[in-house]
Amino acid sequence: MNEVRLTARKGRWIVLCVITLIAAGLLSPWASSHPDGLERVAEDYEFLHRAEAVHEWAPIPDYEVGGIPWTALRIGLAGVIGAAVMLAVLWGVLRALTGKGRERAGGTDHGHGAGASSGAAD
C-alpha cells in the first residue's frame, strides 16, 4: 500500500550514526560563517545590537571548546560533545517516559488486546 514505516535495517541507522559523527566532528569547522537568516535581518534592520546573553556560564559558548589552539579541533570537539550529549539526554528522558508506562505499555502496541486477553486468561 502507500504506507511507509521506519526501516528495520540496522545498517541504515549505523550509517546515520556515522553521518552524524562526521557532520558534528569533521564538517562543522568548515560551515559557512556568514550570518544566517535571522542574523542577516537583524543586521539589515539594525537591531542586532539588542542581542545579549543572560547567562555567561554556558560550558561551550559559540560551539568552541576553550583551551585548544586549533580552531577546527575546538569546533569539531564541540560538535561531537554536543551530538553525544543530545543522544544521552534524549535517550534518558524518553526511557524515563516509556519506563513508567511499561506495565500498561504492553497494551499500547496491540491496542485493546492486552486488557481483554489477560482478562480471558484469568
Partner 1 sequence: MHIPDGFLDAKAWIATSAAGAAAVAYSLRKTKLALDSKQVPMVALIGSFVFAAQMLNFPIAGATSGHFLGGTLTSILFGPWIGSIVMAAVLIIQALVFQDGGITVLGANILCTGFIGCFVGYGIYKAGVKLLAGRGRAAVTFVAAWLSIVAASAGVALLLAWSGTFELGTALKAMTGWHMLIGLGEGLITALVTGYLLERNVPLAKEATAR
Q: Which three cell numbers stand for residue 31?
A: 560551515
Closest contact distance (angstroms) between CB of 43 and partner 1 is: 9
Q: Which three cell numbers stand for residue 100?
A: 513508567
Q: Between 1 and 122, name the residue whose CB sits nearer to partner 1.
A: 1
Closest contact distance (angstroms) between CB of 122 and partner 1 is: 26
Residue 37 near residue 44, CB atoms below 8 Å = no
Q: Between 2 and 122, name the residue whose CB sits nearer to partner 1.
A: 2
Closest contact distance (angstroms) between CB of 65 and partner 1 is: 10
Of 96, 94, 97, 75, whose CA–CA distance to 86 is shortest? 94
Q: Between 18 and 116, name the residue whose CB sits nearer to partner 1.
A: 18
Distance CA 101, CA 94 (A): 11
